[in-house]
Structures are given as C-alpha cells and as structure tokens.
Structure 1
Amino acid sequence: MTKMKTLSILSLVIVLLFVLSACSGGNTPPPAKPSDSSNQEAEGNKNQEEEKEPVVEEEKYDLGGREIRFSAWWDGTPNPDTPEGEKALALQAEVEKKYNVKIKYVAQDMWETAEKFSSTVMAGEPFADVVLVPHVFVLSLLKGGYYTALDDFMNVKEESKLSDLIIESGSYGTGKTYGFLNSVALYDNTGLFYNKRIFQDAGLPTPTELQEQGKWDWDTFVDVAKKLTVSKSGNGKIDQWGLTGSQMTLGSYLIYSNGGVIYDEGTEKIALDSPNAMEGLEMMNKLYNDYKIVKRDEGNSWEDPVRYFREGKVAMYPAGLWEVGRFQKEMVDEYAFVPFPKGPKADGFIMGQPQMHINVIPRGVKDPKVVYKIWEDLQDFEHIDENNRTTAESWFTDEASVENALNTLKIIKFARYGGLNIDDAMWDLVRDISDSKLTPASGVAKLMPVMQASVDKVLKGTE
C-alpha cells in the first residue's frame, strides 16, 4: 500500500509537471515582448506628459472703457473705404474688446507738439497716451524728463516685440528705451539715385554694376561724375552734370559714408573734427571747387536739385527714399538706386540716419505697460518685411534697386542731431566750404564751438 501510494503520488507529480510545462511554454511561443519602438513611444509620451508645461492663460485686462489716444501730426484713423483701412479697423475692434478701451487718434500740429507735450505733462494730464514726436523735438523732451522709459515697467528685450535696432534707436545713448516703432521707416532712409539713360549713352558702367563688382567707392564715384560732366551741345558750356544735391546733403552723406558723424550721441559732442568727418568735408570741397562736377542750385536748395534730376540734366542725385514721389511720375528717364559710395575709412556701406520720428509714452500716463501693449497689438509686426518689399517694388522697376532700398535697414548708423539747434551753423559751414570762403579745417574750427554751445544748452534744458 505504501509502495502504491508512493507511485500514485509520483505519477500525479509527473502529470502536473507535464501540464505546467505545456502551459508555460513547450511548443507555444511566449507572449511577445514590447518592441524597442513601442518602448520609445511609450517613454516619449511619458516624457512629453512630464515636460508639458501647464497652459498659461493670456493675461486679461479691463481699463473700464477708457479712451486711449494716439497722437501724430495727421489723423491716424483708418479709412474704412480701403482694404488696408478695413483690416486695421477690424484689428482695432479686437484690441478695444480685449482691453475694454476706446481708441482715438489725435491730430496735433507738428511744430506745436513740443509745447503741447511739455505743458500737459507738467499739468499732470498728458494730452495723449502715445505720441509720435517729430525728430526735432525728441532730444529736448527726453532731457527734460518728459518720457516714460519702457524699462521702468517691463524687460524690453524679453517682453516686447521690438527689434534690437529699434531698442537701440529708442535709447539715444541713455541705456533705457524711451522711443519705439514697429520698424525704422523705410522712406526715411537715404542713398543715391542715378539716371540710367545718361550712363547708357556714355557707355559707362552704372553704379549698380560698380557695386556688384565691389568698386562702388569714392574714387569710382568721382571718376564717373567727371566723365558725365560735359558739354553735350559742343559749345563748351556744361549742360550735363555728374552730380547735384544740396550742400547739406552732400556734406553729411560724405561724412557718414566715411564712418563719421556730425553729432555723437554717445558722447553728446559735435564730432566734425574727427579724421573721418574731416575727410568727408575735404572731399566735398574737391567736388565743388577742384573737380567742379556738382550742378549748383539757383537759389533754392530744396527744389532745384530734384528738378535738375527730374529733367535729366544730372546723372546722380543723393537723397532720401521718400523723395521718389517728387520725380517718379514726371521723370521720363528710368532711375535706379544704390547706397552712397563707400568712403576710404569705412569697412562697408554706411547710411547715416540723421532723423527719426519716434513714439513715446508721456510721463504721467496711467497704466503705461498696458498702453504699450495696446500699441503693440495694433501693429502688424508679422508682415513688416513683406510690406517694405511691396513699397520698394512700387518705387523701382529693377530688382537691384529694390534690394538696395531694403538693405538700407541693415547699414544704418544713427547720426541724429535734430532739435539741437545746430542746423544754421552746419549750413553756414557747408556753404562756406562749397563757395571757397573757408577751408574745411578753418570752417570747423570757427563753427564747431558755436554748435557745441547750442548742444549743451539744449541738453541742459537751458534753451
């Protein structure tokens, strides 16, 4: 019995082992293990869930129906009868709803802006929340303490959509950003226009071709201007000139293109005695008095040069892009645009930016951060480049000119002196040099102290 019991137990064990073996494997494949890709996907989803930041709701504002006023020297109210105006009004409606405000545009006389600005700030009731200040008043109002710095309520670089160029331009060397724009206005930029027909008739390479060859500098500029200053009638009297422009334009562009400035924003000093600036004035003297290749105005430095260019009497005309409208419709010959030629002390093309109208928030404006955000939300930052290209293409028929116009934004050197009361002395200097009344050195020695005295008075608030 004991033996039989033992065999029965042994048989039972063997059967159980067989069953377990069959259930646990045998010829049946084991359950599939997760593949590497499945593991990675699962791990990735896990990591995404771990790394997924919590949704941050957009900050909400409610200014209780307050009127937000934007001032310029024109009525900025969008025109509903144009596609652009219709789009702007739709955006304005969104912004008004978002902040619970009513937006109004205030037209303020340009030349009365400074008085209106300062008097209303002093009274504790700024006449507008954002004011476009004409370049001639920017520095005096800044030094008077009438602006609110954006840095006082935000990290400008991280919290605004302003480009580094605009942040720099709006600081005026102070280290804080007071002024702001969605972009440097393309029409304020400068360079040199030329008449395509005159170059073609003379069989000379155009400034565009010289630029492409890496030869567009003062030397080639003078060379072609000499060759294009001729008597086409054959009577010995010059009737076609290589160059025209006001003395102020030529003098300043030569200074800037050589890496110099008239006024140094960093040091707050007149810098006409620098080697770069002096070389520019010396070249101006040669253009007028040695080479004699500049067609002088006949008493109107504003209207005469552009008229000469429009009439096809001169080959080259340095000017601002905004001047295209002054000859675009009336000029028979085709024109093109290049940067002003590079000076010997410059590493590349330089466009001096002597003026810039800029937006500011007056001191005393309530909720300045929200006001700035309202302004920012009304801007079309996304399409700035596209809009600039569309504008440039409306000005020029050749791609090279379009690209040169757009490239002015990349070669800017701020050289602003508007509102420092030095214009009259600067005009006296360039006129006396062009008329051979003074040499560049003697002229600078005579007039630079006068100019610096004006600067000091403005910056100290005593004028």
Structure 2
Amino acid sequence: MRFAKKGFSLLLIVVMVLVAACSGGNGGNSDPEPTTPPTQTESNDNNGGEKVNEESPKEEPVADGKWEMDFDLGGRTIKFLHQSDPYRNETPEQLYMRDVKVPELEKKHNVKIENIVETRGNMFENLASSVLAGEPMGDAVYIDTRWGFPGWITGKIIEPIDQYVDLNGPAGAVFDPLLKGFATIDNHVYAYHAPKVDFIGLVYNRTMLQEHGIKDLHEYVKEGNWTWDTFREIVTKVTNTQAGIYGYGGTALYSGNNFIASNGGNYVDYEAKKEMMSDPRTIEATAFMQEMLPYSLINEINNESMKTHFNAGEMMMASASVADAASLRETGAVDFGFVHFPVGPSGDIPRTMSTPPQMWSIPVGVEDPEKVLYLLYKMYELPEDMIIPEDYFGQNNLEKIFAYEEDIAEAKQLMNSANYVLSYSEFVPGWNVYEFLNQILLEGTAPATVAESQRQLMQTGLDEAFKK
C-alpha cells in the first residue's frame, strides 16, 4: 500500500473506537473551513453502492487547458456539507460565490446547489451510517481527514476520486500536489483540496535576540550552523525563569512533531505500516525536547496562549503555523522573524511536519462523483479581475504575513514537497499522541521507555486499520 509521500489514516469500523481515538484535544491544530476559492492562492483553507467506474469520464477541456464539463443534472439537488458557513465573512469572494457563481452553475447545469453547515460531531458520527444505509448525508463532505483514513476507505465509506476523474488531465491541476499525495492510498486518491499555503516553523523575537547579543537566526541558517547545539546555546542564554522568560515555547504537538521531523523521524511509517516511536531518530528527538524543558514553555500551552506569551516577550522563539504567524503580524506587537526548526543530528534537510488537513471527499453511493467534484471546484472559481497575480505560489499571503524577504524564503522552502512531512500522529486507532508526548514532556518518563510501552499498542492499531 502506498500512502504516497505523505499518508493518512484513521479507522472507522467501530464508531466508539474511533471516538476514543479522536476525542483527545487537538492542541489548537484544527484547520478552519475553507473560505477562499481554489483558484485563489490564499492561506485560508479551501478551499452507498460499491460500483466504481473504471474509466475516466469523457471531458472536453477548453483551449487554455482548464477543467470544463458540460452536463445537465435534470434538476437534481447537490448538497455540499461544510463545517462552517462558506459565506460567513461576506468577503467579495464569498459574495461572488453566493450571488453569482452558484446561480450561474445552477442555471447552466440544471441543478440545485445547497451549501449546508453541519456540525463536526454530527458529520463524524453519522456519515458512515448514512452511507451504509444507502442514503449519504451529502454529495461532498468537508471532513477532518483524521476521521476516516484509512478506516472510511477500507470500510468503503468514501469514493476513490481518481477512478471517476482523470487526474492526469486538466482536472488534476486543481488538486494541491502535496495534499493529493497525502490523500493517496493503494494508488487511489480519496480526497480533494485546492492548492494552499501550509507550514509550521519557528517565529522569533528579533528585539530579544539583539538585547541578548545574539545574531539573527538567519545568519546561523546561512552558515549551515542552525543545529540543535546552536538552539541549545540560545535558549540557555535567553531563559530567565524567575522573570518568566523562556528561550522557546509552543504546543506539545507542534513541538513534538517538528523536532521529530527535523531529525528524520516520525510516529508511523505508512509505507511499511510500522510504528516509528521506537525508531532511534524519534527517540533522539524526544530526548532532546526533554533536555530543553527547563528552557521551554510547553506545559498547558495552546496556540492562543502561545501568541499571548510571545507577544508579551515571554518566549524568544515559538512554534507557529501559517495562521499563527498571520495573527502575530496582524497584532504587530513583536518584530518577529521566521526560520525552520533546527536540523537534528540524524536529520538531513529542514523539514516541517503539518497536521491532518480538512479535505473534501465523496461518499460512496453518490451519483456522478465527477460532476459533483466539478461543481465544487467551479463554485469557488473566481473571475480573473478578482485574482491578484503572483510571481510565485503563495506570494500574496506570504507578503502579508512576513515583513522580511528571508522569512518568506524560509516559508517557501518548507512548502516544497521534499521538506514537507505530514503528521501521522492522530490516525492510529487506540493510540493517543497526546498521551505519548505528555508522558515524555510532563511526566518526565524516558522516551525509550514510553516508546517500548506503547509500540505494540500502536502496531496493533495499524494492523487493524490496514486489515493485515
């Protein structure tokens, strides 16, 4: 089984098992419902029967290579299930979709489009049962991918999109290449997302560095000396616990994910379907985090409290997502920079480990999956006069978030496939990443001991998820 370059999984064979596996806190890592059309490169996220059409649909791409289809759905109602109101902010783009694009598509294709807001809990609990009853609750559903990969795939709850849509043709260009790989199991693509800006790295307080006589972190990067040893020296020098100042801070999950990734490790190897907690690189990374605890503010930190501490000058460096960095820029309390996590002794290149994205999937039993996906894509499409030209993907957003060119260069690097690792931490039934990290970071248990005590639990979950 190929989980592509970046894989997913989560079992949903027994709902109660899934609830237990997924009900742990998310450390502030939930992605927002997409509000931006797929054709616009912004960082906002957005973006049964078992019969499968073995042939790609016959499409008629126009001269410029855009994905176009012509069909009549005979007055059918198509339901798109969102996790939040796609028109909630009434931005020009959202109003264009509501007032222009949806009516235009309804008239052209003789269809009624309903954009329905469904609670995450209801969608999670009822999608599988609705499909098994032969009445899918929506034609396309915006799911947390950790809910259903691979359980909703092995359980035939969601469709393989690529068996209905030729992803080597014009349709393939509308898929985010990284997330397309992430949504691939057994060489089939099960979810859709338009290209998006996504990464996690380190924001740092430039003023605090200067006050402590430390050169800018980009200088270490240029010298090839942005390593764990350098990180250790800096946080040791900056930390003053009596004054409530720490060299580093962030959520346990962001910290764990990215120090592990920076050392070439992970929690799971989905290619081999094997746990990686006991991998020497993972143990080395978690041991380093444990060593850095006296100089770090991690306990009880979530994404919001991280920003509060960082803006107050109580953290010199902090793990931050795209959304976190954008919020810090908007607040404007700190002159901050951005770099990748330092490369570990067993690592090779800068890496970022992102969290499970939300993506669009088509439930099994939905008629005409290719037409449903096409309508979804076109619904978010903007006219050229509403699209801001870019010299490179993500330029408009990165220039809004970062004030310095070197910060933008770091972010662009982390968005490359070679540097981008997706977290497999929340997809294993019966295993909880937060318990794993808490034992190491809060209880002080040796990483090798924790790995040894939990490795069989994780392996059992993997075997069950993939039906070994």
- Using structure 1 for the length normalisation, give the TM-score: 0.76
Residue 452, structure 1, aligned to residue 459, structure 2: yes
Q: State the alpha-carbon separation in 2 of the partners of residues 310 and 59 from structure 1.
A: 50
Q: Which has the higher contact order (CA 8 A, sep 6+)?
A: 2
Query: CA 1:435–1:82 in structure 2 vs 1: closer, same or farther (change >3 Å)?
Result: closer
Secondary structure at the aligned position of 2:134 is classed as: coil
Query: CA 1:413–1:397 in structure 2 vs 1: closer, same or farther (change >3 Å)?
Result: same
Q: State the alpha-carbon separation in 2 of the partners of residues 136 and 385 from structure 1.
A: 34
* Equivalent position of 1:136 in the other structure: 146
Match of 1:151 among 150, 156, 162: 162
Residue 169, structure 1, aligned to residue 170, structure 2: no
Match of 2:122 among 107, 112, 115: 112
Q: State the alpha-carbon separation in 2 of the partners of residues 63 and 453 from structure 1.
A: 45
Query: CA 1:384–1:329 in structure 2 vs 1: closer, same or farther (change >3 Å)?
Result: closer
Q: Which runs of 4+ in 1 moved over 6 A?
A: none
Q: Which amino acid aligns with 2:166?
A: N
**Residue by residue, what CA displacement relative to the aligned partner does 1:416-452 show, whole Å, maximum 9, x if unpaired?**
343434563x333323323564212111101222233
The farther-off stretch of 246-255 and 398-407 is 398-407
Q: Which has the higher helix share?
A: 1
Question: Do the aligned partners of 2:263 and 2:343 also contact (CA within 8 Å) in 1?
Answer: yes
Secondary structure at the aligned position of 1:157 is classed as: coil
The farther-off stretch of 415-424 and 313-322 is 415-424
Residue 415, structure 1, aligned to residue 423, structure 2: yes
Q: State the alpha-carbon separation in 2 of the partners of residues 436 and 147 from structure 1.
A: 40
The farther-off stretch of 189-198 and 135-144 is 135-144
Whose Rg is larger? 1
Question: Do the aligned partners of 1:66 and 1:100 also contact (CA within 8 Å) in 2?
Answer: yes
Q: State the alpha-carbon separation in 2 of the partners of residues 353 and 145 from structure 1.
A: 27
Question: Do the aligned partners of 2:431 and 2:457 also contact (CA within 8 Å) in 1?
Answer: no
**Residue by residue, what CA displacement relative to the aligned partner does 1:38-58 show, whole Å, maximum 9, x if unpaired?**
xxxxxxxxxxxxxxxx999x7
Q: State the alpha-carbon separation in 2 of the partners of residues 355 and 384 from structure 1.
A: 28
Q: 1:25-424 alignment to 2 at 5 Å? A: 60-77=70-87, 82-89=91-98, 90-139=100-149, 140-160=151-171, 161=173, 162-171=175-184, 173-183=185-195, 185-186=196-197, 188-230=198-240, 237=242, 239-288=244-293, 292-297=294-299, 299=300, 304-324=305-325, 327-330=328-331, 332-380=333-381, 386=390, 388-410=394-416, 411-421=419-429, 424=432
Q: State the alpha-carbon separation in 2 of the partners of residues 364 and 83 from structure 1.
A: 35
Q: Which amino acid aligns with 1:108?
A: E
Secondary structure at the aligned position of 1:156 is classed as: coil
Instruction: Report the aligned-residue RMSD.
Output: 3.0
Q: State the alpha-carbon separation in 1 of the partners of residues 135 and 117 from structure 2.
A: 17
Q: State the alpha-carbon separation in 2 of the partners of residues 422 and 321 from structure 1.
A: 30
Secondary structure at the aligned position of 2:394 is classed as: helix
**Residue by residue, what CA displacement relative to the aligned partner does 1:355-379 show, whole Å, maximum 9, x if unpaired?**
1111111101111111122223234
- Using structure 2 for the length normalisation, give the TM-score: 0.76
Residue 439, structure 1, aligned to residue 446, structure 2: yes
Secondary structure at the aligned position of 1:266 is classed as: coil
Q: Which amino acid aligns with 1:177?
A: V
Q: What is the Cα deviation at residue 59 of structure 1?
A: 5.0
Q: State the alpha-carbon separation in 2 of the partners of residues 309 and 126 from structure 1.
A: 45
Q: Which amino acid aligns with 1:142?
A: I
Q: State the alpha-carbon separation in 2 of the partners of residues 64 and 409 from structure 1.
A: 42
Query: CA 1:302–1:101 in structure 2 vs 1: closer, same or farther (change >3 Å)?
Result: same
Question: Do the aligned partners of 2:258 and 2:351 also contact (CA within 8 Å) in 1?
Answer: no
Secondary structure at the aligned position of 1:365 is classed as: coil
Q: State the alpha-carbon separation in 1 of the partners of residues 336 and 265 from structure 2.
A: 28
